[in-house]
Amino acid sequence: MCRSAYNMVLHKYGEKLYNGLESTMTWRLKEISKSIEAAQGGLFLEELNAKWMDHNKALQMIRDILMYMDRTYVPTSHRTPVHELGLNLWRDHIIHYPMIHGRLLDTLLDLIHRERMGEVINRGLMRSITKMLMDLGPAVYQDDFEKPFLEVSASFYSGESQEFIECCDCGNYLKKAERRLNEEMERVSHYLDAGSEAKITSVVEKEMIANHMHRLVHMENSGLVNMLIDDKYEDLGRMYTLFRRVPDGLSTIRDMMTSYLRETGKHLVTDPERLKDPVEFVQCLLNEKDKHDKIINVAFGNDKTFQNALNSSFEFFINLNNRSPEFISLYVDDKLRKGLKGATEEDVEGILDKVMMLFRYLQEKDVFEKYYKQHLAKRLLSGKTVSDDAERSMIVKLKTECGYQFTSKLEGMFTDMKTSQDTMQDFYAKKSEELGDGPTLDVHILTTGSWPTQPSPPCSLPPEILAVCEKFRGYYLGTHSGRRLTWQTNMGTADIKATFGKSQKHELNVSTYQMCVLMLFNTSDGLSYKDIEQATEIPSTDLKRCLQSLACVKGKNVLRKEPMSKDISEDDTFYFNDKFTSKLVKVKIGTVVAAKESEPEKQETRQRVEEDRKPQIEAAIVRIMKSRRVLDHNSIVSEVTKQLQARFLPNPVIIKKRIESLIEREFLERDKADRKLYRYLA
């Protein structure tokens, strides 16, 4: 046969041979089409597949026999190669045959629908049929199967998603959507062309996710907010994975999460009940941060855009409460006084790192610095710090975050404590004989400017204490020329021995003010409020707190007062309480004081902060104008804010006042032509 075909082409009968082949194949395929058309039900695809396999084998044999014609006649005559001709004829006379074409598409779509509804179908047969369509050319697969398949799928998932969303909660809906998506990808891998995966998943994503995402995140009792509240990591992770597949999906989750965080955070920082306990207030903030950090880490793949949204939300609501800097400092104070006892170094670092995270959100870092300095001073002077290493670690963290200027005074406080220790050792080494058996004095020498000391009128010290104090003053000023010493009696403490009825002895740990009051009772049994005030010269507010803690606190009432009440009045009379008893030999009597500042104290602190800001704002303005020479008002405000925002957010009104002050002092001048421009005066 090969020889005959070769001879025909050689003797110029190639056209006759080619036309004969075409007409014979056409006739044969018409016969086959009748056979396929006659196949009933499930046998239809099997018959089509069997005939396709036979046709393929026949084509290969024909191509081998007519190889010479394929290589010579076909190219020169611009005819279709034999194998391709066979495929084209199969397409035209079988696949596009009206009685087969529609039936084939309906059968394929019906089988896919049945599989979606849970039936098991013959995937091998489906694979053979779709491969046949691909072999006939991508256009055949796409036009005759893929396009209708995608349209029917869109309609199916549109209806199913509507049905699901009416009867399912958010978590279950997402599970069903995820399952459908996985099924379609599996379907493609088993019997559809790989190029169909992106198209069919896009249909499922649009119909099941994109069209319903707003309703899903807002779904009552099961939407995003409920998932966040109940820590539903699995559901949140599924939502994140599915929503990231559709346009604006992640931004929908992010916006909803931000809105929820800001609302709950605002409620948390303005709740009057929570404001009663600063430590609990800050702990709640830390718990919220930990909770949402874990959600972002576990469910949202540590997505940086979600982390940024969380940070901006915390920064927003923490700064709604202008007491946040004070409360964060009080939290650190609580931890460094007693809260870290027995904690490992890693635990301490972990807690301090969390505090620093909240500190970064503060817009008024200088206010935090003011309070931190006050609280640190009290810890150092009362010896109540739980660990010097933890204190220094916190200062290193603040220094890293804000620079040396922020912590220079805090470091100066530690230097003073060490210097004081050395000074006292030297004092007792040189003066021990002079002092004899008198009271033991331990002095902390504080550098003015480093410590948050307030000018306080000195109280009248007992004679025996005053004598030792004067000896120390003489020693210190003799050792350090050109210095001045001012006693800060409002900041000191004392240990005094007291004997009560039935010779019961106790050692009382009290403040310097309390000591001055108690020493009066060595010579008097009863004293009026006026007598005590006159003898001690303690400021009225401090004296009332002092007497309240000595006479009104159960278990610490070494004095008794008449008439008995919780508050101190100027008509009260005080007596030594002979009947005082305590199981402890050492009794600490604290001063009645609020953990938080009172309103006047708060105003005073705020005023000091505002005063401290003025030179910083002026320095920034001068720096900017020195380099720019000429600048308009809005640009100065913008540049100053940019330079100072690491410490605080300057108020534009204050900036304007500082500019006016600099103009008055002839650092700047207004431009004569344009009043909005300022010029730097060298």
Model confidence at 356: pLDDT above 60: yes
580 in any annotated domain: yes
Q: Which is more confidently placed, 675 or 596?
A: 675
CA-nearest of 535, 499, 515, 678 to 591 is 515
Per residue in 472-484, pLDDT tens? 888 888 888 888 8
pLDDT of residue 625: 85
Least confident range from 304-313, 641-650, 654-663: namely 641-650
Other CB atoms within a 10 A radius of the CB of residue 417 amount to: 17
The structure's pTM equals 0.78
Contact 278, 333 (CB under 8 A): no
pLDDT of residue 52: 94
Per residue in 568-617, pLDDT tens? 888 888 888 888 888 888 888 877 654 455 666 667 777 777 777 788 88
Measured between alpha carbons, how far is 628 from 635 in angstroms, rounded to an integer?
11
Asked whether residue 373 falls in the same domain as residue 241, the answer is yes
Asked whether residue 619 falls in the same domain as residue 583, the answer is no
Measured between alpha carbons, how far is 128 from 123 in angstroms, rounded to an integer?
9
pLDDT of residue 150: 96
Per residue in 431-447, pLDDT tens? 777 777 778 888 888 88
Model confidence at 116: pLDDT above 80: yes
120 in any annotated domain: yes
Contact 557, 577 (CB under 8 A): yes
Per residue in 10-28, pLDDT tens? 667 778 888 888 899 999 9
What does the block give as tokens for 204? Answer: 């499922």
Asked whether residue 43 falls in the same domain as residue 186, the answer is yes
pLDDT of residue 597: 55
Model confidence at 280: pLDDT above 50: yes
487 in any annotated domain: no
596 in any annotated domain: no
484 in any annotated domain: no
Asked whether residue 126 falls in the same domain as residue 16, the answer is yes
Per residue in 233-261, pLDDT tens? 999 999 999 999 999 999 999 999 999 99
Measured between alpha carbons, how far is 184 from 204 in angstroms, rounded to an integer?
8
Please count the structural domains in the chain.
5
Asked whether residue 153 falls in the same domain as residue 300, the answer is no
What CATH number is given to the structural domain containing 110? Answer: 1.20.1310.10
Measured between alpha carbons, how far is 224 from 309 in angstroms, rounded to an integer?
15
Confidence band, pLDDT 50/70/90 cuts, at residue 157: very high
What does the block give as tokens for 637? Answer: 């405000």
Model confidence at 341: pLDDT above 80: no
Q: Beta strand pairing status for 493-500 and 504-511?
A: antiparallel
Of 130-144, 332-346, 367-381, 486-500, where does the model show the most confidence?
130-144
Asked whether residue 366 falls in the same domain as residue 269, the answer is yes
593 in any annotated domain: no
Asked whether residue 39 falls in the same domain as residue 152, the answer is yes
Per residue in 454-468, pLDDT tens? 667 778 888 888 888
Asked whether residue 389 falls in the same domain as residue 508, the answer is no
388 in any annotated domain: yes
Least confident range from 44-53, 319-328, 433-442, 484-493: namely 433-442
Contact 148, 140 (CB under 8 A): no
Query: Could you tell me which residues come within 8 angstroms of residue 280 by beta carbon, excluding any fewer than 6 positions away?
Result: 274
pLDDT of residue 428: 86
Least confident range from 126-130, 322-326, 587-591, 638-642: namely 587-591
What does the block give as tokens for 146? Answer: 């893929």
- Among 177, 199, 218, the domain boundary falls at 218
pLDDT of residue 11: 64
The mean pLDDT of 163-181, rounded to a whole number, is 94
Q: What's the gap between Cα 607 and its chain centre?
A: 32
Measured between alpha carbons, how far is 372 from 36 in angstroms, rounded to an integer?
90
Asked whether residue 343 falls in the same domain as residue 457, the answer is no
The mean pLDDT of 39-46, rounded to a whole number, is 89
- Among 181, 197, 218, the domain boundary falls at 218
pLDDT of residue 602: 65
Asked whether residue 455 falls in the same domain as residue 566, the answer is no
The mean pLDDT of 672-679, rounded to a whole number, is 82
DSSP 336: I
Q: Which residue has the tokens 């209708």?
A: 148
Give the C-alpha distances (Å, rounded to integers) separating 637 from 251, 659, 663.
33, 10, 15
Q: Beta strand pairing status for 573-576 and 586-588?
A: unpaired
Query: Could you tell me which residues come within 8 angstroms of residue 450 by beta carbon, excluding any fewer than 6 positions away?
Result: 409, 412, 413, 416
Contact 182, 129 (CB under 8 A): no
Which amino acid is residue 557, in one-letter code?
N
In this structure, is the dihedral angle defined by the CA atoms of residues 300, 304, 306 and 311, taken in order, positive or negative?
Answer: positive
Q: For the stretch 250-283, what's the b/e string if a residue is b when 16 or more beta carbons lie within 10 angstroms of its beta carbon?
A: bebbbebbbebbbebbeebbeeeebeeebbebbe
Asked whether residue 180 falls in the same domain as residue 254, the answer is no
- φ, ψ (nearest 5 deg) of residue 271: -75, 115
Give the C-alpha distances (Å, rounded to integers) separating 205 from 175, 184, 303, 368, 452.
13, 11, 21, 49, 62
Measured between alpha carbons, how far is 187 from 108 in angstroms, rounded to an integer?
13
Asked whether residue 6 falls in the same domain as residue 131, the answer is yes
DSSP 277: -
Residue 561: strand pairing partners: 574
263 in any annotated domain: yes
- Among 414, 447, 471, the domain boundary falls at 414
Other CB atoms within a 10 A radius of the CB of residue 551 amount to: 22
pLDDT of residue 124: 95
Question: Chain-wide mean pLDDT for the chain?
Answer: 88
Measured between alpha carbons, how far is 304 from 365 in angstroms, rounded to an integer?
25
pLDDT of residue 595: 47
Residue 678: strand pairing partners: 631, 670
- 329: exposed, middle or buried (C-beta count within 10 Å: 0-12, 13-18, 19+)? buried
- Identify the domain containing residue 612 by its residue range: 602-680
Q: Which helix (H) or strand (E) holds 573?
A: strand 573-576
